[in-house]
Amino acid sequence: MGVVQLIDSLDAGGAEVLAVNIANALCNKGINAHLCATRKEGVLKTNLKENIGFLFLERKKSIDFSAIIRFKKYLKKNNIGIIHAHTTSYFFAVCVKLIYPKVKIFWHNHTGNYIKLKGFKFFIIKNISVFFDAIINVNEELNTWAIKRLKHKKSVKLDNFPQFINKSSTTKLFGKENKRIVILASLREVKNHVSLLKAFKLIHKKHPDWTLHIIGKDFKDKYSKKLNKFILEKELDKNVFFYGLCLDIEYILKQATIGVLSSKSEGLPISLLEYGLAKLPVVVTNVGECSKVIMNGESGIVVESENSLVLEKALEELINSEEKRKAYGGQHYKNVNKNYSQESFINQLVKIYTQ
């Protein structure tokens, strides 16, 4: 069985991390594993095992005939029968299937916002989905959407799994030890750093020695400028730090005290599971699968989204109690190891591929 993970880029995002993790795990299982980045390479390429086949297509547009033909040739040459397409790469996968019908497509839907699709975008994905052999969803809400709205005959829910591959110790966090709040989230509006910054502004007044650390790609766009403007206007620039894309996530989280996610929408965020591996207590908004990962009041605190006041209150609860931080972090670690293991994920995935 030859399987290729298909992804737009290898920048450090949740879907990209999972694509790399799956390729590595399939390789460990003795499966002919490959990964293809269609538009862009990225920092995560270094996390791929050496014996995994890698292809970079440098696709310039949605329908790039040269890239389609090169990918088809790669599939035939390497005896690959399965395309595991992540997020928006499903369109390119279908283009390839039109000229190479024998290949199977498994679409991995990571994006919680898909349930809100309307109009032309929904029309496109609904009609394209007939080419999918199965749809793999990261939470139950997306699975229900695929069954009821796309009316797909084979749609399954499969929980993500975390894994620390990179063992380097490069990124040194600023601020005082045991007083660091960290968020692993690229600077996208859906991640709602604005709400977190508003909450942190209130925390800063009471706890001026605590710091906030933002790990994730900065797209240097309007949203990024909005965040930086807020930080400067509220005089938080000595307590809020941006690090951009980082690979040494394990080392970063070892330096952190509290993990947080303030998103408006999610599927099942890898970062939330990574917080668990690092034994971090967390505050997370009640979106996507987050409230199923975190048992409120046992392994972390779950709050409503887009409410900076309740977010601030929850963070302060952990700031004020080292005992709770230790207890919640320990329980989160146990839950992640028990319910979100690599072995369970890969066994289920292989069954999906072969059924």
What pLDDT is attached to residue 236?
98
Cβ-proximal residues to 126 (8 Å cutoff; 6+ apart), any chain? 149, 150, 151
Helix, strand, coil percentages in the chain from 3-state DSSP, rounded to 5: 45, 15, 35
Strand-strand pairing, 258-261 and 282-285: parallel
Block mean pLDDT (10 aa), the chain, length 355: 96 92 97 98 94 96 95 98 97 98 98 89 95 96 96 96 94 98 98 99 98 97 98 98 96 99 96 98 97 97 98 99 98 97 95 95
H or E element in which residue 351 lies: helix 342-354
79 shares its domain with 107: yes
198 shares its domain with 328: yes
The answer to whether residue 166 sits within a structural domain is no
What pLDDT is attached to residue 310?
99
345 shares its domain with 310: no
The answer to whether residue 172 sits within a structural domain is no
The answer to whether residue 324 sits within a structural domain is yes
Alpha carbons 258 and 283: distance in angstroms, whole number: 8
For 321, the 3-state DSSP assignment is coil
What pLDDT is attached to residue 111?
85
The answer to whether residue 277 sits within a structural domain is yes
Task: Look up the pTM and report it.
Answer: 0.90
Strand-strand pairing, 134-137 and 155-157: parallel
56, amino acid identity: F
Alpha carbons 263 and 305: distance in angstroms, whole number: 7
Count of domains observed in the chain: 2
The answer to whether residue 62 sits within a structural domain is yes
What pLDDT is attached to residue 96?
98
* DSSP symbols for 88-132: GGHHHHHHHHHH-TTSEEEEEE--GGGGG--HHHHHHHHHHGGG-
Please work out, in degrees rounded to the nearest 5, the angle formed at the alpha carbon of residue 351 by the alpha carbons of 347 and 355. 175
| Closest to 282 (Cα-Cα) out of 248, 241, 311 | 311
Tokens for 33, please give them. 């594993």
DSSP state of 45: G
217 shares its domain with 95: no
CA distances from 11 to 8, 145, 218, 302, 328 (A): 9, 28, 11, 28, 31
Q: Which residue range forms the structural domain that includes residue 133?
A: 2-161+340-354
Side-chain-side CA neighbours of 241 within 13 Å: the count stands at 18
The answer to whether residue 173 sits within a structural domain is no
What pLDDT is attached to residue 90?
97
Alpha carbons 301 and 177: distance in angstroms, whole number: 22
242 shares its domain with 205: yes
DSSP state of 154: S
CA distances from 291 to 81, 282, 283, 306, 350 (A): 36, 11, 10, 15, 27
Name the CA dihedral angle for 233, 237, 239, 243, rounded to a multiple of 10 degrees: 130
For 26, the 3-state DSSP assignment is helix
What pLDDT is attached to residue 1?
85
H or E element in which residue 291 lies: helix 290-293
Alpha carbons 249 and 186: distance in angstroms, whole number: 13
The CB density around residue 262, as the number of other CB atoms within 10 Å, is 27
108 shares its domain with 215: no
CATH code where residue 55 lies: 3.40.50.2000
Q: Taking a C-beta distance cutoff of 8 angstroms, is the pair 139, 146 a contact?
A: no
154 shares its domain with 7: yes
